[in-house]
Each structure stands twice: as C-alpha cells, then as structure tokens.
Amino acid sequence: MGKKITIFGNGEIGSAIGKILAGKGFEVYFWDREPGKVTPNMTLEQMAKASDFVFLCVPSWVLRDALEQIKAFLKSGTVLVSLAKGMENTGKTVDEIIRETVPNNFVLMSGPMLAEEISQGALGFAVLASQAGADAVKAKELFIGTNVHTEISEDVRTVAFAGVLKNVYALVIGIVSGLGYGDNLKGYLVSKIWAEWEYLTELLGLNRAVLASTAGVGDFIATSFSGYSKNHELGEKLAKGDVTGLMSEGLSSLPGLVGAVSSKTETLPRYLLNLKKIVIDKESAKEVFKLSPQE
C-alpha cells in the first residue's frame, strides 16, 4: 500500500517536496493557511488521520502553532518531518519545540535544498536527523530515486543548531554583498565564520563533524551565495537599512542565538556581535563592517 503524506505549509519548499513525493506515486495532501493552497474537500483532521508522514514545511516562528493545530489529529505511528531551520526567542531549537508539543517521533530534514532548484529537478541534499533511527530510515526511503539525496544522523541537537547557525551567519554574507564588497572578502569571511563556529561548537557542546558537513557548512554556503536565499536578500537589505515587511529564519533566530551564547559567555564572538549591533541595536551596517586598509 502506498504511503500517504500531508504537507503542512504549501509554500515554496512545501510545494517542492510535495511535487517530488507525488512524483513517486505517493498520495500527497496539502494544508496551508491560504485556502487556495489546500487539497480540496479534505479537512486537516482527515489528512492527518490518513497520513503516515506529516512534513512540517513552515518556518520556526510558526512551528509551535502548526503543531498545536495538528496534534489532536495525529496517529501514534505518524512520523513528523520538520524542515524548519530556526530557533525561538526563548533559545529553544526546533527539536525542543516539537518534543514539548507532540508525543510523535520526528525527523529533522536539513541541508542545501533551495526550493526553487529542487522543484526544477536540480539536485538537493539533506540530513535526516532522528534519535529513532527507524524513522529516519523510513523518511530516507521516501526520497530514493529522486533528486533529493539524503543521509542519516542521530545527532539531532547539532543538526538543529546547524540550521540556526547557517541562516544567521548567511546574513553576514548578504550584508557585505549589499555594502558592495567583493568575493575576496566573502571568501575571507567564510573562513572566519567557520573559525567562529568551531568556537561555538565547544561553547554549546555541538558536534564539529556534523557542522562541517552537509547540514552545516554545505547549507551555509548554499544559503549565503544563492540568489534564491531569503537570508542573503535580507542581509543585503540590512546593509541598506531597509527590512520592511521581510522575515527570515536568520533574522528570527538571531535573538535566541544571542541569548543562548550569552548564557555561556560574557563576550559574543565577532560576527555574531556584529549582527547583534545591526539587527538588535540598530547600528549602521556600513559602520559595523567598515574596514581599514590594513584589514
């Protein structure tokens, strides 16, 4: 019997994932806050009760609300797959939000999967992180033979933090791009950001190897340099002092990450401090990233 799957959040990534899975012959339902993006003649309750998997394709700042909407309808064996890559202002990561809200097993799906590319058939790459290894294997089987290549990790916490770090630090590359700096500086900053991540690895008790691979550095590079990236776009707008109406996982997660790091040390590392100055303290990006000839 074919798998039945609900896509909760029919935006760009939800639509892309749904298209890929439907292409394998699975029965795919869509739920969204916009009525025009919902599978006709079905309620959320009907979808959830019928589904073997629910893909949570919503940003982290609405994830808790999405879970509250659906939790009463979930079967005990339904596996949740979350694509959110962010953190609440409380400092709680996606895995913590899910554990607090629903009893179901879950998988985090994180890596370079720009929705516009994978929906066009280009390759995408994802780490499926779960402490219930069988659930990660089940999720992996869904994508066999598709353009999304997957690997499995049991380090849920580091994969969750990798999604936070890559989105927050992608803002840095977007900012310097918006300020008109060239690719030489961006290359330099990538190396310095990795050094900062290594420091945070020790500070936060994360797994260096996970951060150095697909869900961390791989996703960071894709997000930092893609024209499709909302974090890159928002970084460019931050450089110009214009963020009206924009939101991204990086911007949303910054206060929580600053809080998490500040609880461990009195001094923020350089580039996280720079972002705090620009986004939270409202200082000029041009002044914060002003370089002397010697730098």
The pTM of this model reads: 0.95
Residues carrying CATH 1.10.1040.10, the chain? 157-288
Q: What is the pLDDT of residue 243?
A: 74
Report how far apart, in Å, the C-alpha atoms of 163 and of each of 68, 95, 124, 145, 262 are: 22, 11, 15, 25, 19
β-pair partners for 27: 4
Please tell me the predicted confidence (pLDDT) of residue 293. 58
Query: 22-33, pLDDT tens digit by residue?
Result: 999 999 999 999
Res 281: pLDDT: 94
Q: What is the four-CA torsion angle of 224, 230, 235, 239, rounded to 10 degrees?
A: 140
pLDDT of residue 294: 52
Q: Are 6 and 51 in contact (CB under 8 A)?
A: yes
Residue-wise over 199-209: b if at least 16 C-beta within 10 A, else e? ebbeebebbee
What residue ranges of the chain have pLDDT lower than 50?
Answer: 295
Give CATH 3.40.50.720 domain extents, the chain.
4-154
Which burial class, exposed, middle or buried, applies to 26 when counting CB atoms under 10 A from its CB (0-12, 13-18, 19+)? middle
Mean pLDDT of the chain: 95
Which numeric CATH code is attached to 157-288?
1.10.1040.10
Highest CATH level, class, for 4-154: alpha beta
CB–CB of 240/234 below 8 Å? no
